[in-house]
Structure 1
Amino acid sequence: MAAVFYDGFLLLAIWFVATALILPFNAGEAFNSGQYFYPLYLLAVAFGFYGWFWTHGGQTLGLKAWKIRVADKAGGKLGWRRAGVRFIGGLLSWAIFGLGFAWCLIDKEGLAWHDRLSGTRLFFLDGPG
């Protein structure tokens, strides 16, 4: 969970930059609740962040710091489709009060809902990430 929070802070910073990039297209004004593009844009930015790291080495900065790697069940690299399923599954895992993440504590293979859904798993590395 520490890696999740670590990456959360990094994603928050990326969202600040992403918001600054599109503010000129909203006349420099803050986005309001009636603008549906903005939350979808932030969701796409989040998928781009996680998807790129998962498909290019399997480690976000948080996962690298804690020596964890995301891969398919055989240990292979993830493709964009599997990363997308994992991302959507992760959203569902959070949406139900994080129960999807806590599930790994009682799962016989230690997998969270999004791991089961996407056919992925976390590998804990012994050496440098």
Structure 2
Amino acid sequence: MSDSTHATAPCPAAPALLAVPTLRRRVLCVIYEALILFGVLFITGYLFSTLTQQRSALMYRHALQLWLFLVLGAYFTWFWRHGGQTLPMKTWKIRVVGADLRAVSLPRAVLRYCLCWLWFVPGMALDWLFGIKDWSSVGVASAWVALWACTMFIDRDRQFLHDRLAGTRLVSVIETPSVPRPA
């Protein structure tokens, strides 16, 4: 299916998707996503080190970082384009859609993936800039993540800043009760 056709297809159950997931559900979804991603990154990192015969953690480390960045990008963009949900998002009944409630296009999914790194990169950059190398670096990074999470409270639609910038939105998937068919 072409990218333009897929991007204009209406999202399933679009009228039922107007509710915004709570911050609690979003955070729980992120925790579950981290568990899934640990496995994905472990396996792909192991494959990389096996295929390149990496003998040291410093050997090919930049290539490994790029590889893992691309693997994560492929993971998220594929799921966001095909149903709008990863497994944790399905579990917590959250879907990512375009601002128009249609399926997310490939360029928009890639943009959202890149903007999602704003959750982490500024905090890591502050650690690096100030030379923080002990446990206080966890505090700086955590403070940045908490600050970023609060951006949903200043948005009129309760969306995170990266969703607003990418032209996407998170919506609750409200299941409508199935009506039994007449015999």
Q: TM-score, normalised by structure 2?
A: 0.65
Question: By how many angstroms is 1:28 displaced?
Answer: 4.6
Alignment of 1:23-102 (within 5 A): 23-32=49-58, 35-96=61-122, 97-98=144-145, 99-102=147-150
Asked if 2 retains the 8 angstrom alpha-carbon contact of 1:94 and 1:100, the reply is no
Structure 2 residue aligned with 1:120: 168
Gaps of 5+ in 2: 1-26, 123-143, 177-183
Once residues 90 and 126 of structure 1 are traced to their aligned partners in structure 2, the CA distance between those partners, rounded to angstroms, is 25
Alpha-carbon distance in 1 for matches of 2:167, 2:59: 35
Larger radius of gyration: 2
What is the letter of the counterpart of residue 50 of structure 1? F
Q: 2-side partners of 1:34 and 1:93: how far apart?
A: 26
Quick check: 2:48–2:64 contact (8 Å CA) kept in 1? no
- State the 1:87 CA deviation: 0.8
Offset from partner CA, 1:77-118 (integer Å, 9 cap, x none): 111110111011110133342233320022221111111111
Aligned length: 128
Runs of 4 or more, structure 1, over 6 Å off, are none
Q: C-alpha distance in 1, partners of 2:109/2:82?
A: 11
Find the aligned partners of 1:30 and 1:117 in 2 and give their Cα distance.
39
Tell me the TM-score normalized by structure 1. Answer: 0.89
Write the distance in 2 (CA, Å) between the matches of 1:34 and 1:113: 34
Q: Give the match for residue 6 of structure 1.
A: 32
Please list every run of 5 or more consecutive structure 1 residues that lacks an aligned counterpart in the other structure.
none
Q: Which moved more, 1:104-113 or 1:52-61?
A: 104-113
Deviation at 1:35, TM superposition (A): 2.6
- Relative contact order, CA 8 A, sep 6+: which one is greater? 2
Query: What fraction of aligned residue pairs are identical, expressed as a percent?
Result: 30
CA contact 1:101–1:112 (8 Å) conserved in 2: yes
Moved more, 75-84 or 25-34: 25-34
